[in-house]
């Protein structure tokens, strides 16, 4: 049993009653039992950002940047790293022990453990969208769009709709653990070190397994569910009840998987840059004749030397 299933996470009854009208107006009927976790996750993300700003200069000393922009980037990485360490074990547990309610009804089934995981993700991605928008000039539009689209996707799971997708897509955070470790080793001036090479192997392995292989398989399964054939009349009628939301999910799903393959290429190029020494400039240049011909002992003479 994981802590995500603990009865201690159950909110007071009056809290659920308070949130219910708001959730109904937003058509998020699965939100009330886990709304408190959204707020806790959001508050924890901001708190972790502040804690990083206080502790990182003491823990990492001179490696912690002095420039404000770079300090913000450092703290954002630390919060994302912490979230990956929290979300990944829960996702693995729920993949190994899925709630039977979701197996019985993968479209509209409701199960508390998966609701809680989605709520934690929503709180984190609210923080992510806010801070990347605030620092959009340094973080870039891509990071803001990533946080915003993930926020939309996990929020809609609490309509409820395809709630089973939460653990399957949060398992992608497994590679984020090693990606942020790779980033930190760069900041600690350990670029190209044996430790970074070992971490790089873990990064590539986890990325391929979680995002490219399992992610593609999940997307294929998801597509079959969202776009059933004419022979599956009952399923087709049920999925059409979701309306425009399913098309939003299909669009997000295709773009997310496309980005996974695009980012994998960039990641391999970045690792290659660190561990494969570039050919020397002199070896890449051809000999240039002197006085119109190559004389004795001039085979290695090139322009500028």
pLDDT tens column, 217-246:
999 999 999 988 877 888 889 999 988 999
Q: Which of 136, 135, 143, 205 is nearest to 174 (CA)?
A: 205
Please check whether residue 51 lies inside any domain of the structure. yes
Q: Which of 164, 152, 204, 148 is nearest to 181 (CA)?
A: 204
Band of the pLDDT at 279, cuts 50, 70, 90?
Answer: low
* pLDDT value at 296 more than 50: no
Q: What are the beta bridge partners of residue 290?
A: 293
pLDDT value, residue 135: 85
- Which DSSP state fits 296? T
pTM of the entire predicted model: 0.86
pLDDT tens column, 85-139:
999 999 999 999 999 999 999 999 999 999 999 999 999 999 999 999 988 887 7
For 252, other C-beta atoms within 10 Å of its C-beta total: 16
* pLDDT value at 280 more than 70: no
**SS3 for 299?**
coil
Please check whether residue 190 lies inside any domain of the structure. yes
Please check whether residue 122 lies inside any domain of the structure. yes
CA quadruple 217, 219, 221, 224: dihedral sign: negative
Instruction: Determine contact, residues 173/83, Cβ cutoff 8 Å.
Output: yes
**SS3 for 88?**
helix
Instruction: Determine contact, residues 176/91, Cβ cutoff 8 Å.
Output: no
Band of the pLDDT at 177, cuts 50, 70, 90?
Answer: very high
Reading the block at residue 34, the tokens are 């886990």
Please check whether residue 287 lies inside any domain of the structure. no
pLDDT value, residue 270: 85
pLDDT tens column, 13-62:
889 999 999 999 999 999 999 999 999 999 999 999 999 999 999 999 99
Mean model confidence pLDDT for the chain: 88
> Which residues, 6 or more positions from 129, have their beta carbon under 8 angstroms from its beta carbon?
144, 147, 148, 151
If one counts the domains in the chain, the total is 1
Task: Give the dihedral of Cα atoms 264, 98, 146, 130; nearest 10 deg.
Answer: -140
What's CA 255's distance to the chain center, in Å?
13
Please check whether residue 114 lies inside any domain of the structure. yes
Band of the pLDDT at 143, cuts 50, 70, 90?
Answer: confident
Instruction: Determine contact, residues 173/165, Cβ cutoff 8 Å.
Output: no
* Domain containing residue 257: 12-275
> Which residues, 6 or more positions from 157, have their beta carbon under 8 angstroms from its beta carbon?
30, 114, 118, 163, 165, 166
Instruction: Determine contact, residues 30/160, Cβ cutoff 8 Å.
Output: yes
Please check whether residue 61 lies inside any domain of the structure. yes
Q: Which of 260, 274, 259 is nearest to 200 (CA)?
A: 274
Please check whether residue 43 lies inside any domain of the structure. yes
Q: How far is residue 40 from each of residues 15, 22, 34, 44, 293, measured CA to CA in Å?
A: 14, 18, 10, 6, 77
What's CA 226's distance to the chain center, in Å?
23
Please check whether residue 267 lies inside any domain of the structure. yes
Mean pLDDT for the stretch of residues 295-300:
44
pLDDT value, residue 33: 95
């Amino acid at each position: 049993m994981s802590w995500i299933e603990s009865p201690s996470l159950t909110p007071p009854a009056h809290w659920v009653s308070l949130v219910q009208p708001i959730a109904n107006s937003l058509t998020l009927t699965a939100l009330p039992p886990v709304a408190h976790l959204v707020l806790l996750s959001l508050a924890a993300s901001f708190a972790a950002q502040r804690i990083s700003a206080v502790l990182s200069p003491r823990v990492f000393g001179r490696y912690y940047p002095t420039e404000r922009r770079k300090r913000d980037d450092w703290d954002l990485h630390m919060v994302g790293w912490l979230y990956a360490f929290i979300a990944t074990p829960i996702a693995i547990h729920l993949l190994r022990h899925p709630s039977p309610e979701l197996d019985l009804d993968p479209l509209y089934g409701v199960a508390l453990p998966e609701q809680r995981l989605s709520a934690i993700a929503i709180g984190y991605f609210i923080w992510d969208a806010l801070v990347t928008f605030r620092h959009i000039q340094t973080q870039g539009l891509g990071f803001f769009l990533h946080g915003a689209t993930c926020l939309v996707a996990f929020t809609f799971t609490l309509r409820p709709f395809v709630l089973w997708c939460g653990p399957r897509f949060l398992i992608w955070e497994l590679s984020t653990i090693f990606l942020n470790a790779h980033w930190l080793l760069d900041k600690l001036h350990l670029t190209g070190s044996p430790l970074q090479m070992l971490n790089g192997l873990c990064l590539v392995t986890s990325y391929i397994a979680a995002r490219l292989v399992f992610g593609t398989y999940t997307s294929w399964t998801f597509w079959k569910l969202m776009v059933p054939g004419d022979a599956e009349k009952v399923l087709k009628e049920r999925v059409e009840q979701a309306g425009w939301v399913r098309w939003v999910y299909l669009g997000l799903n295709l773009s997310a998987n496309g980005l996974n393959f695009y980012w994998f290429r960039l990641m391999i190029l970045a690792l290659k840059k660190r561990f494969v020494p570039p050919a020397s400039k002199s070896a890449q240049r051809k000999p240039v004749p002197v006085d119109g011909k190559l004389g004795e002992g001039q085979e290695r003479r090139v322009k500028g030397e």
